[in-house]
Amino acid sequence: MSDLTGRTALVTGSARGVGKAVALRYASLGANVVVNYSGDTTNAERTVEEIRALGVEAIAVRADVSRVEEIDRLFAEAADRFGRVDIVVANAGVEIIDQPMLEATEKDFDRLYAINAKGTFFTLQRAAMHIADNGRIIYIGSSTTCNAFPGVGLYGSSKMGARYLVQVLAMEVGNRGITVNTILPTTIEGAGVFTDIADDDPYQQMSRARPLGGRMGRPDDVADAAEYFAGPLASWVSGQALLVSGGAQQ
């Protein structure tokens, strides 16, 4: 188990789902946490309460990552409250699945690329600008970027660019001891479009064929990987992408 006592973690999109699981994991390891959200104030405040119950400090900062000025404000508020940021997890994103490319609209494109591509780009850029030396930057990507899959052309492509950016950024900030890595989760039960998935949903059926456990992913599976990348065991690992998929290739 990693010891993150005295460190500050900023996790975008952490009011619920995967982001919340990562935020709670870091808090359980001793880190103070900046909970970012775009509109779900109730769940953001609940997450902050759960983090504080673990004996560390947390604040909730409402900021839309598709707006660069709000990303700047997010980092400024984190620095004002905690003095420094040691871990940044770029998790905020939106999904559209089961959508053939012929049905994707310009509105869909603009929304997904504004958050998943532009928002992540500038979150990672600002993280590199503001994070303390020897810090950890982590991008939560998607297993859809590993192999082509019908119905996720728009979503998968909006998540692809940041994978490349992670590799470039890892080389550009490595001289400061900062690592930059990607986590590629598969379908995660209880998160995103799978928040309230039924037991008989086709995605549940497909997941039963996964080599490990025969189930969908869970937020804590991603938090496990995020704990590794944030801790000392990954201090010499950078520019990498870790597929978290229960042994499946996507």
Residue 209 has what pLDDT? 61
Mean pLDDT by 10 residues, the chain (250 residues): 94 96 98 96 97 98 98 98 98 92 96 98 98 98 87 92 97 98 86 65 65 80 97 97 84
Side chain identity, residue 230: A
Question: How far is Cα 244 from Cα 187, in angstroms, rounded to an integer?
Answer: 10
Residue 119 has what pLDDT? 98
Residue 2 has what pLDDT? 86
Can you list the domains of the chain with their CATH numbers?
A: 8-244 (3.40.50.720)
Residue 57 has what pLDDT? 98
**Alpha carbon distances (Å) from 226 to 7, 59, 63, 101, 137:** 15, 20, 22, 32, 10
Query: H/E element holding 61?
Result: strand 58-62
Residue ranges in the chain assigned as alpha helix (H):
17-28, 41-52, 68-82, 106-112, 120-130, 153-173, 202-207, 219-230
Residue 204 has what pLDDT? 64
| Residue where the block lists tokens 């935020």 | 23
